[in-house]
Amino acid sequence: MHIALLISLLAGLATSIGGLIALGPGAHRRSRLAVTLAFSSGAMLVVSLVELMPLGIASLEHQFEPRTAAALGYLSFFVGIGSVLAIDRFLPHSLNPNETEGREGEVVAGEVHQTRALLRSGMLVAVVLALHNLPEGMATFFSSYSDLSVGLPLAAAIAMHNIPEGIAVAAPVYAATGSRGKALGWATASGLTEPLGALIAAGLVTWVIPEALFGLFYGLVAGMMVFLALDELLPGAWRYQTDKHQTVYGMLVGMAVVAASFVLFA
């Protein structure tokens, strides 16, 4: 359990890397961000559909007959999708990280005066991303706690897509205040809800969910990750790309790397 919590913490702290990148002028190229987001989406899709769902159904078959196990597995999959969809619906359109314009680099590179509006913008993005990262922390914990060979690739994919999120927080704060410490601090804070989500998941595993139904977590996590990949990461990659092939190539490489990791860990 401690290893799963540590993995969730490290994945969340990847927003700090994004914060550091935002402090270096010209260091965050749009094409690089597009490939990173696409890579993460491809990795998440393979982990979720090729590994998590079959594992979940196989686990449930130890307690139920095959048809019931499959039904419960797919039901939990769509519950996972619904949980993240509910968070998206709850957030105002203007604050939803899925709707950002991909202009963080322009904020840092341009000659921007210190304004309360910019500072407020960065802080609002930090708060919204913090809420958005809760289910990711739960997903990282569930998968790592159950099987490290599944949890590690998933955590790596989440960490990679947290880097652009850190940039989205730090860039406007740095432009508004000129303070590297505040920019990095807000970027880091936005990722700390991932270990908080992991702690919530640990509590569910310890006190609430019977081990016989633990296979449901696989479906739940798979649903969360598929929705995030399709609704957040791929649209984000399209917004940042400077060439139409960057998203496709990044996604395919992400799929290939995760597939190779499964072979190595097996």
- DSSP H helices, 178-243, are 180-191, 193-203, 215-228, 234-240
Domain residue ranges in the chain = 2-265
CA–CA dist 233, 230 (Å, integer): 6
3-state class (DSSP) for residue 95: coil
Which has the closest alpha carbon to 173: 214, 227, 119, 209?
A: 119
CA–CA dist 141, 252 (Å, integer): 25
Instruction: Answer for the pair 234, 38: CB distance below 8 angstroms, yes or no.
Output: yes
Phi-psi sector, 55: left (phi>0), alpha (psi -120 to 50), beta: alpha
| Mean per-residue pLDDT of the chain | 77
Residues 17-62: tens digit of each pLDDT: 888 887 776 545 678 778 877 887 888 888 889 888 988 898 889 8
Other beta carbons within 10 Å of 40 = 31
Instruction: Answer for the pair 104, 34: CB distance below 8 angstroms, yes or no.
Output: no
Checking if the pLDDT of 209 tops 90, the result is no
Residues 111-147: tens digit of each pLDDT: 344 445 556 656 665 666 676 677 778 878 877 887 7
List the helix and strand counts (H, then E) for the chain.
Answer: 13, 0
Residues 150-168: tens digit of each pLDDT: 788 878 878 877 887 787 6
